[in-house]
Amino acid sequence: MHEVLTRDNPCLSRVKIQAPEAPQQAIPDASEQPSGMLQSALVCTSILPAKVETYVQAGMAPATRRAYRTDLDHFQAWGGTVPASDGQLAAYLAEHAETLSVATLIRRLAGISVAHEAHGLPNPVRSPLVRATMRGIRRERESAQRQAKPLLRDDLFAVLAPRAMA
């Protein structure tokens, strides 16, 4: 009987893919990857049928793949590596906090996160240090999320009341 391994696939919205165990292959360095490295963020222990691979490829828009590739290239041009430490990632964010928008930094984190998950590496984007750094950048740049005012009872009834047809 084959032992079953379960891996997360970020392209498939956290769907679990189960495959028979196969010999582990060395994880290639992201700097050696061609521009299509993020074509598929699937880390699998066996060869997938062509039809499955086609759907996995279709799971991420070409524009998203290009954006993630650009984000990873920017991070590596700065001196970042995959795998990255949380300290390295926090330093990257701090250095670019004044020149890049908060939305761009968040997208850069998404690209770096996908690269780590694609290689089956621990994801430094989820670390408390990186999250705290982003929270501080948002506060300093005055783009921190603000709490919405609650919808009060009378306002709720007014919204839900049927309106007369004009």
Domain locations along the chain: 4-20+27-140
- Once rounded to an integer, what is the mean pLDDT over residues 52-58? 87
| pLDDT category of residue 9 using cuts at 50, 70 and 90 | very low
What CATH architecture applies to the domain 4-20+27-140?
A: Orthogonal Bundle (1.10)
Number of other CB atoms surrounding residue 111 within 10 Å: 21
pTM of the model: 0.60
**Distance, CA of 37 to CA of 121 (rounded, Å):** 15
pLDDT tens-place string over residues 38-50: 444 444 445 778 8
| Among 37, 36, 40, residue whose Cα is nearest residue 50 | 40
What pLDDT is stored for residue 47 in this prediction?
A: 77
**Distance, CA of 42 to CA of 144 (rounded, Å):** 33
| Among 84, 124, 117, 134, residue whose Cα is nearest residue 13 | 117
